């Protein structure tokens, strides 16, 4: 066991550090460092424009999407080199939020299913941030049961005509393109009648409407399709093979979202060191200490588990579905920590005004955002199913819709 | 970054596992449980023959000097098998006390016999039914003899060598060695929640003893020894947790109810998934602690407490829910579920309970002043 860099890794780190030092947008650093939970603070500068500029500069110098092949705008780097890059990029990595879906999920799907012409045309511009992509999967009536989706694609000449609605689409309003999963055959079993496409988000008939979330913010959108035409050449994979193609996206989603999710623990530790409680500070209280220990064990467990995943990566192994535990543990933890931190502040904990609430209302923001963490990218319950079935090898759930043509599956009142 | 055990270390683990599966089946555990043997003597001599007792004892003292990473993996297998031997008392506590605090003469005289399996050790500290404090130690050492009573001594009834925490004439705590091949004590085997481990009450009446090493601050020595032992016991707990999880998963696949395997019900599945998550976090925390132990890292107190709390939680959760998955059969004497439940609860107390280690964890965390490292 050895936690230090190998000689090659240390040399790479030096090179990365020097380039970042010479090129990073240092005028943004104080604002980025002061970003509250779930926000990207760029002071008076335009966040999206600054993000695009930093991404372009990285891409021009070969520091974008490091593990991708060079012909797609990457560097052909190893996964460990990518991790080192992330560690050194540090606070400037906050600027990458708008590109995560395109780079983490859409591009891998294109790499596995698009034509060579399309790969050459689109992937390098995803790397450079010139074009932003989104993922159009979830629907109002199909979340966990994604394969139950209803957005229709019907063939008309060389085009497909799309009608339906997607929901929970991050960044649709900034996106140039999207990958879309549709139902092309409702008369076969639900997994078999799906087909994937990509399309321009500027296509006629695409209507993007922001969702006002329970926490008052609007990170996600609804996207409506009314007779939207997509040329057959933009189909990803065979007709009816959309489920298999989408699994590539979802596997990458786990990798993109699964690692390094905030738990709130460092914020809590900071709070209890100074917060008065009884005759001392909160950290001296035995009840507080027991909770801290319990949460630290989980936070350290996640950190140490990622160190083991990195070790597996550096040996050329592929991390399996056990990566699912990251979000399952972190999401619950953040919700519990936020509740506990607020509880320690008495009624003052109810304040959400950042100018008077503790830490610019960080725990209040976590409290109100954390329910979504336990749902997005796989609910806690779906993640437990994945662990039980794919890691522990338990039998699949009984499915009432197994083998039944999609248009004969009972759907309750919402249809 | 290489956060994994080496192939050689894994080979040693596999050899230990194979030996235990052949020689330390549940018949051995049940022989001790039901009072037919005080411990599994054949397993103990087998462990000695394989050189495993001396895994971390340097070659100059008769060990193999393989090291602590290796010892961690041996501990994990012993925990999985519920091996009814005095391995923990002898190796994690008495041997460590000698290595860390013993004089050169004491090490040279005792460690070779320990490595050979000829001397079984016990660690005699606890006197009262309270959480351990310096004040609770009333056993005295004066004029070369000990007087007092140790209430709960794991492996105390079968040990040949005791390491005893006692108070000298000046009132200072220190450790003392009692060689039971010559010295006499009153020993009474007592019942505990885990009858697969020998447990005794030991009374000293003018028992001949000698100070361990130079007789430094005994309480500080105790805490340092506990940090090291906590890592090794955590691996035993981890081994037990993973085995209990395996048992539960295996049973959920073969037991049918309502016309289907019970493992296809989400109520069972999700319980098993939660057991897996807790055990997996404990495993990763144990790895980190193994690294700290093997390198004498400054982070050892925090890493040890983290592994201890994590592995205690994992073994308790997995052994408890293993019974739940087994239903009524899990509550029979005949099924092995209760043996894991019993062991998990004994190990949870052996170095001090969860609340003690939670407190030590927070102390360690504050001492490192880098809580963000665990984000």
pLDDT 10s digits, A214-261: 999 998 999 999 999 999 999 999 999 999 999 877 776 655 544 568
A3 interfaces chain B, CB cutoff of 8 Å:
yes
Is the pLDDT at B189 greater than 60? The verdict is: yes
Q: Tell me which chain A residue has its CA closest to the CA of residue B307.
A: A297
Tokens of B242: 């993973």
What are the structural domains of chain A? 7-127 (1.10.540.10), 133-242 (2.40.110.10), 259-378 (1.20.140.10)
Is the pLDDT at B171 greater than 80? The verdict is: yes
Q: What does the alpha-carbon distance between residue A63 and residue A128 come to, in Å, rounded to a whole number?
A: 10
Cα first-last separation, chain A: 56
Q: Tell me which chain B residue has its CA closest to the CA of residue A263.
A: B375
Q: Of A317 and B261, which is predicted with more confidence?
A: B261
pLDDT value at position A253?
65
Q: Which of A27, A39, A168, A175 has its CA nearest to residue A99?
A: A175
- What would the pLDDT profile of B25-35 be if each residue is shown by its tens digit? 999 999 999 99
Q: Which residues of B touch A265 (CB under 8 A)?
A: 371, 374-375
Task: Answer yes or no: do A2 and B2 touch at CB < 8 A.
Answer: yes
Q: How far, rounded to the nearest angstrom, does the alpha carbon of residue A108 sit from its chain's CA centroid?
A: 14
Tokens of B29: 């555990």
Task: Answer yes or no: do A1 and B274 touch at CB < 8 A.
Answer: no
Q: Which residues of A touch B368 (CB under 8 A)?
A: none
pLDDT value at position A255?
58
Is the pLDDT at B374 greater than 80? The verdict is: no
B-proximal residues of A, 14-73, CB under 8 Å: none
Tokens of A99: 């590109």
pLDDT tier, A79 (very low <50, low <70, confident <90, very high otherwise): confident
ipTM above threshold 0.90: yes
pLDDT tier, B215 (very low <50, low <70, confident <90, very high otherwise): confident
* A8 is known as an active-site residue: no
pLDDT tier, B17 (very low <50, low <70, confident <90, very high otherwise): very high
Q: Of A174 and A412, which is predicted with more confidence?
A: A174
The mean pLDDT value of chain B amounts to 96
Helices B300-326 and B337-350 cross at an angle (nearest 10°) of 160
Q: Of A27 and B372, which is predicted with more confidence?
A: A27
Please report the sign of the dihedral spanned by the C-alpha atoms of residue B127, residue B132, residue B138, residue B141: positive
Beta carbons within 8 Å of A356's beta carbon, 6+ residues apart: none
Q: What is the 3-state secondary structure (H, E, C) of chain A?
A: CECCCCHHHHHHHHHHHHHHHHHCCHHHHHHHHCCCCCCCCCCCCCHHHHHHHHHHHHHHCCCCCCCCCHHHCCCCCCHHHHHHHHHHHHHHHHHHHHHHHHHHHHHHHHHHHCCHHHHHHHHHHHHCCCCCEEEECCECCECCCHHHCCCEEEEECCEEEEEEEEEEEECHHHCCEEEEEEECCCCCEHHHHEEEEEEECCCCCEEEEECCCCCCCCCEEEEEEEEEEEEHHHEECCCCCHHHHHHHHHHHHHHHHHCCCCCCHHHHHHHHHHCEECCEEHHHCHHHHHHHHHHHHHHHHHHHHHHHHHHHHHCCCCCCHHHHHHHHHHHHHHHHHHHHHHHCCHHHHHCCCCCCCHHHHHHHHHHHHHHHHCCCCCCHHHHHHHHHHHHCCCCCCCCCCCCCEHHHCCCHHHC
Cα-based distances in Å from B5 to A207, A310, B13, B17, B29: 54, 14, 10, 16, 29
Q: CB-CB: which of B253, B281, B375 is closest to A394?
A: B253
Using a pLDDT cut of 90, give the percent of chain B over it.
96
Q: Of B267 and A79, which is predicted with more confidence?
A: B267
Q: What does the alpha-carbon distance between residue B113 and residue B111 come to, in Å, rounded to a whole number?
A: 5
pLDDT value at position A414?
52
Superfamily (CATH H level) for B7-118: Acyl-CoA dehydrogenase/oxidase, N-terminal domain (1.10.540.10)
CB pairs under 8 A between A and B: 170
Contact assessment for residue B249 and residue B326, using Cβ atoms and an 8 Å cutoff? no
List A50, A131, A139, A253, catalytic entry: A253
Query: Stretch A11-18: mean pLDDT, rounded?
Result: 97
Predicted structure pTM score: 0.94
pLDDT value at position A254?
57
Q: Which of B67, B83, B90, B93 has its CA nearest to residue B16?
A: B83
Judged by DSSP in three states, B18 sits in: helix
pLDDT tier, B373 (very low <50, low <70, confident <90, very high otherwise): very low
Chain B: closest CA distance from residue A126 (Å): 29
Beta carbons within 8 Å of B186's beta carbon, 6+ residues apart: B202, B203, B205
Q: What does the alpha-carbon distance between residue A163 and residue A150 come to, in Å, rounded to a whole number?
A: 9
Using a pLDDT cut of 90, give the percent of chain A over it.
78
pLDDT value at position A225?
98
- What would the pLDDT profile of A29-78 be if each residue is shown by its tens digit? 999 988 877 778 899 999 999 999 999 999 999 999 999 999 999 999 98
Q: What are phi and psi of B211, to 5 degrees?
A: -60, 145
A284 interfaces chain B, CB cutoff of 8 Å:
no
Ramachandran bin of A38, using left for φ above 0, alpha for ψ from -120 to 50, beta for the remaining angles: left
Is the pLDDT at A317 greater than 80? The verdict is: no
Question: DSSP characters for B30-98?
Answer: HHHHTTS-SS-HHHHHHHHHTT-TTTTS-GGGTS----HHHHHHHHHHHHHHT--SSHIIIIIIIIHHH
Residue B139 DSSP one-character state: -
Task: Answer yes or no: do A2 and B1 touch at CB < 8 A.
Answer: yes
Query: Stretch A72-92: mean pLDDT, rounded?
Result: 91
Q: How far, rounded to the nearest angstrom, does the alpha carbon of residue A246 sit from its chain's CA centroid?
A: 15
β-bridge pairing B140-142 and B145-154: antiparallel
The number of beta carbons lying within 10 Å of the beta carbon of residue B371 is 20
Contact assessment for residue A184 and residue A156, using Cβ atoms and an 8 Å cutoff? no
The mean pLDDT value of chain A amounts to 92
Query: Stretch B180-189: mean pLDDT, rounded?
Result: 96
Domains B7-118 and B122-217 share a fold: no
Q: What are phi and psi of A5, to 5 degrees?
A: -65, 145
A-proximal residues of B, 290-349, CB under 8 Å: 290-291, 294, 305-306, 309-310, 313
pLDDT value at position A36?
75
Architecture of domain B219-374 in CATH? Up-down Bundle (1.20)
- What would the pLDDT profile of B285-340 be if each residue is shown by its tens digit? 999 999 999 999 999 999 999 999 999 999 999 999 999 999 999 999 999 999 99
Residue B176 DSSP one-character state: E
Judged by DSSP in three states, B262 sits in: helix
Ramachandran bin of A250, using left for φ above 0, alpha for ψ from -120 to 50, beta for the remaining angles: alpha
Q: What does the alpha-carbon distance between residue B115 and residue B112 come to, in Å, rounded to a whole number?
A: 5
Task: Answer yes or no: do B4 and A310 touch at CB < 8 A.
Answer: no
pLDDT value at position B182?
95
Tokens of A212: 């006002």
pLDDT tier, A413 (very low <50, low <70, confident <90, very high otherwise): low
pLDDT value at position B370?
52
Please report the sign of the dihedral spanned by the C-alpha atoms of residue A362, residue A368, residue A374, residue A379: negative
Cβ-in-10-Å burial (0-12, 13-18, 19+) of A174 comes to middle
Helices B337-350 and B26-33 cross at an angle (nearest 10°) of 70
* Topology classification of domain B122-217: Butyryl-CoA Dehydrogenase, subunit A; domain 2 (2.40.110)
Contact assessment for residue A129 and residue A55, using Cβ atoms and an 8 Å cutoff? yes
Q: What does the alpha-carbon distance between residue B163 and residue B137 come to, in Å, rounded to a whole number?
A: 14
pLDDT tier, A302 (very low <50, low <70, confident <90, very high otherwise): very high
Chain A: closest CA distance from residue B5 (Å): 6
Q: Provide the residue ranges of all domains of chain B, joining segments of one domain with +.
A: 7-118, 122-217, 219-374
């Amino acid at each position: 066991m050895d936690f230090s860099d190998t000689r090659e890794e240390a040399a790479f780190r030096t090179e990365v550090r020097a380039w970042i030092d010479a090129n990073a947008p240092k005028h943004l650093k104080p604002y980025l460092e002061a970003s509250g939970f779930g926000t990207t603070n760029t002071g008076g500068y335009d966040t999206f424009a600054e993000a695009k500029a930093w991404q372009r500069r990285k891409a021009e110098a070969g520091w974008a999407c490091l593990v991708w092949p060079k012909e797609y705008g990457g560097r052909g780097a190893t996964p460990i080199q990518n991790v080192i890059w992330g560690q050194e990029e540090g606070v400037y990595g906050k600027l990458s939020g708008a590109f995560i879906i395109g780079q983490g999920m859409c591009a891998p799907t294109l790499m596995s299913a698009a034509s060579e012409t399309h790969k050459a045309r689109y992937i390098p511009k995803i790397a450079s941030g010139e074009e932003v992509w989104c993922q159009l999967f979830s629907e109002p009536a199909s979340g966990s049961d994604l394969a139950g989706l209803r957005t229709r694609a019907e063939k008309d000449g060389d085009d497909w005509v799309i009608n339906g609605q997607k929901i929970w689409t991050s960044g649709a309003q900034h996106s140039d393109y999207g990958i879309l999963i549709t139902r092309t055959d409702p008369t076969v079993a639900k997994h078999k009648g799906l087909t994937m496409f990509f399309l321009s988000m500027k296509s006629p008939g695409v209507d993007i409407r922001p969702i006002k979330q329970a926490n008052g913010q609007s990170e996600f959108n609804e996207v409506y399709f009314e007779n939207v035409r997509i040329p057959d050449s933009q189909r990803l994979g065979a007709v009816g093979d959309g489920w298999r193609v989408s699994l590539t996206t979802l596997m990458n989603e786990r990798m993109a979202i699964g690692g390094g999710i905030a738990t709130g623990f460092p914020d809590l530790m900071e709070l209890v060191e100074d917060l008065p409680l009884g005759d001392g500070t909160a950290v001296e209280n035995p009840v507080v200490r027991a909770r801290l220990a319990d949460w630290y064990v989980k936070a350290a467990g996640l950190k140490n588990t990622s160190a083991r995943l990195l070790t597996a990566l550096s040996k050329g192994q592929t991390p399996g579905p056990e990566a699912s535990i990251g979000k399952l543990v972190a999401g619950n933890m953040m919700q519990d920590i936020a509740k506990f931190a607020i509880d320690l502040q008495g009624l003052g904990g109810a304040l959400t005004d950042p100018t008077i609430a503790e830490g610019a209302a960080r725990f209040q923001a976590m409290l109100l955002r954390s329910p979504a963490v336990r749902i997005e990218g796989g609910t806690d319950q779906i993640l437990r199913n994945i662990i039980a079935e794919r890691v522990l090898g338990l039998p699949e759930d009984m499915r009432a819709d197994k083998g039944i043509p999609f248009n004969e599956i009972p759907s309750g009142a919402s249809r | 970054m290489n956060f994994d055990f080496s192939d050689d270390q894994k080979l040693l683990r596999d050899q230990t596992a194979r030996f235990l599966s052949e020689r330390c089946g549940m018949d051995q555990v049940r022989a001790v449980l039901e009072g037919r043997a005080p411990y599994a003597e054949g397993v103990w001599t087998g462990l000695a023959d394989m050189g495993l007792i001396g895994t971390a004892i340097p070659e100059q003292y008769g060990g193999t000097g393989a090291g602590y990473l290796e010892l961690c993996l041996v501990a994990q297998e012993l925990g999985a098998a519920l091996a009814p031997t005095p391995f923990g008392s002898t190796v994690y506590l008495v041997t460590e006390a000698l290595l860390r605090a013993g004089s050169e003469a004491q090490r040279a005289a005792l460690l070779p016999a320990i490595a050979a399996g000829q001397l079984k050790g016990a660690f005699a500290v606890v006197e009262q039914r309270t959480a351990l404090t310096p004040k609770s130690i009333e056993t005295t050492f004066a004029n070369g003899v000990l007087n007092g009573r140790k209430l709960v001594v794991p492996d105390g009834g079968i040990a040949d060598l005791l390491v005893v925490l006692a108070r000298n004439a000046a009132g200072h705590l220190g450790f003392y060695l009692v060689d039971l091949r010559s010295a006499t004590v009153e020993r009474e085997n007592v019942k505990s929640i885990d009858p697969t481990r020998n447990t005794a009450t030991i009374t000293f009446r003018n028992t001949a003893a000698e100070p361990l090493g130079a007789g430094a601050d005994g309480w500080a020595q105790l805490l340092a020894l506990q940090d090291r032992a906590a890592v090794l016991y955590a691996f035993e707990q981890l081994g037990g947790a993973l085995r209990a999880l395996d048992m539960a998963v295996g049973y959920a696949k073969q037991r049918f109810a309502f016309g289907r395997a019970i493992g296809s019900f989400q109520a069972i599945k999700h319980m098993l998934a939660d057991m897996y998550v807790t055990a997996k976090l404990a495993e990763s925390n144990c790895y980190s602690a193994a690294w700290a132990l093997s390198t004498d890292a400054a982070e050892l107190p925090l890493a040890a407490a983290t592994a201890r709390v994590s592995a205690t939680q994992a073994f308790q959760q997995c052994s408890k829910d293993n019974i739940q998955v087994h239903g009524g059969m899990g509550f029979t004497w005949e099924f092995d579920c209760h043996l894991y439940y019993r062991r998990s609860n004994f190990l949870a107390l052996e170095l001090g309970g969860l609340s003690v280690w939670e407190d030590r964890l927070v102390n360690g965390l504050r001492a490192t002043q880098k809580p963000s490292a665990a984000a």
